Amino acid sequence: MKRPLLLASMGLSALIPASAYGQAEEPTLAGRAAIERIAGNTIVLTPESEAPFALEVVMYFASDGRAVSRMSANGVANEAESLVGKWSIDDQERLCVVEDGKDLKSDRDCIGIVVTGNTVRSVPEDIFRGLHATIAEGNPSKL
C-alpha cells in the first residue's frame, strides 16, 4: 500500500486562481514544464475541507530524481509513514513515482500535473479529489 500513498499523496485538486482586480493571471504549466517546476521543491497536501484531525502530506522531489514523502497528523510527523522512492517523467509527460527497489509497472504509477503559480492539480482532477496541493520552495521539511 505504500506506492498508492506515495502517488496519492501528490493529490492535486485546487482550482486555477483567477485575477480579481484585472492583474495578469499567472501562466499555467502542464506536462514536462509543470514537473520541472516541481523538481527541487516540495508539494504540501492538505484536505480541502475541515476534518476531525489535521492531516498533511509533504513530498519532496529532489532534482536528482529522489522522491520522499511523509505524513503527519495534528502536526506530529509519522516516521512510519515516510516513503522513499524515485520520480521520473514518462513519454506522455506525466509524473511517475515508484518506491525504491521497485520498477515502473503501470499507469497507476504516473499522473498528469498542472501548475499555476504555487497551486498544483492532477489530470484528471478526480484522481486526488478533496486535496489542496501547493508548492513550497526547496525542502522546508528536511526530507
What Cα–Cα distance (Å) separates residue 16 from each residue in 19, 71, 114?
10, 25, 9
Contact indicator for 59, 40 with CB cutoff of 8 Å: no
Q: Domain ranges in the chain?
A: 2-16+26-136
Cβ atoms within 10 Å, residue 76: 7
C-alpha cell at 28: 499555467
CATH of domain 2-16+26-136: 2.40.128.640
What's the one-letter identity of residue 124? P
Nearest to 113 by CA among 7, 35, 16, 22: 35
- Which sign, positive or negative, has the C-alpha torsion 140, 131, 106, 94? negative
Residue 32 binned pLDDT confidence (cut-offs 50, 70, 90): very high
Q: Does 51 score more than 80 pLDDT? A: no
C-alpha cell at 93: 509527460
Q: Looking at residue 67, what DSSP letter applies?
A: E
Place of cell 508548492: 135
Q: How does pLDDT run across 71-90, given as a tens digit for each residue?
A: 888 777 766 678 899 999 99
